[in-house]
Amino acid sequence: MRSIMVLNSKGGSGKSTLSTNLASYYASQGNRVLLVDFDPQLSSLDWLAARSSGRKSITGVDASKGNYRAPRNVDYIIYDTPAAVHGNELNAYLRRAQSIIIPVLPSPIDMRAATPFIQKVLANGRVARKECRIALVANRCRENTNVYHQLDGYLKKVRKAPFISVLRETQNYNKAAERGLGIFELAPYLATRDRDQWEPIIKWLNSKRSMPANLR
């Protein structure tokens, strides 16, 4: 069973968008997917409620109160996490995942908040022992803006955490979310560029580089 978590202590960084798109991608590939929503806002489960029964099935679980049961016959678990995660709570989340994606927005506030958070994640024992792998994604970016270039430079300088892709600011994500879809489920003529931006993320997750050392 593969476990992937989208994590950032800063609210509004796009955790639910990445989580739901990952869930829909792996479901579209014929996998049995469990989407676990730890966020009290339950944005991922709201997305799932809008999903048509004609689409590939995804099982959703409300874990916002801390307890949940995962079915045994699952290929992928995607964890959507809340904001303001620190200390023991952060360590508890890190114990659940094999791979973690940290989305960061192109704003000075988000970059300042990301610095200590990423360092706390990297200092975690499981991460330090390579029992859990992390990667960084620049999210909701408008290319060729000054703040985009600042974020690009910032993420490239983070040691021990690969910067794997840039996702642009586009209404395609809102259009997909309204229907409980992912970017890979939109018509290719609408979302080819966005799919291309997701390819490095999927490639990393499907590679040994994203896997714990004992599973490689």
Report if residue 53 sits inside a domain: yes
Give a yes or no: residue 197 inside a domain: yes
For residues 3 and 79, is the Cβ–Cβ distance under 8 A? yes
The domain that contains 130 carries what CATH number? 3.40.50.300
Tell me the mean pLDDT in the region 49-71.
90
Q: What is the pLDDT of residues 94-133, one digit of tens each?
A: 999 999 999 999 999 999 999 999 999 999 999 999 999 9
pLDDT tens string 83-97: 999 999 999 999 999
| Residue 199, strand partner residues | none
| DSSP for residue 143 | T
Is residue 172 in a domain? yes
Residue 21 zone, left/alpha/beta (φ > 0; ψ -120 to 50; rest): alpha
pTM: 0.95
Output the 3-class SS for 161-206.
Answer: CCEEEEEECCCHHHHHHHCCCCHHHCCHHHHHHHHHHHHHHHHHHC
Which residues make Cβ contacts (< 8 Å) with residue 63, sequence separation at least 6? 36, 37, 38
User: Is 70 exceeded by the pLDDT of residue 216?
Assistant: no
Amino acid at position 22, single letter:
L
Pairwise pLDDT comparison (189 vs 216), residue with the higher score: 189
Q: Band of the pLDDT at 24, cuts 50, 70, 90?
A: very high
Burial class (CB in 10 A: 0-12, 13-18, 19+), 32: middle
As for how many domains the chain has, the answer is 1
**Considering the domain boundaries, does residue 27 fall inside one?**
yes
Q: What percent of the chain is predicted at pLDDT more than 70?
A: 99
160-194: per-residue pLDDT in tens? 899 999 999 999 999 999 999 999 999 999 999 99
% of the chain residues with pLDDT over 90: 92
pLDDT band at residue 214, thresholds of 50, 70 and 90?
confident
pLDDT score, position 71: 78
Range of the domain at 123: 2-207
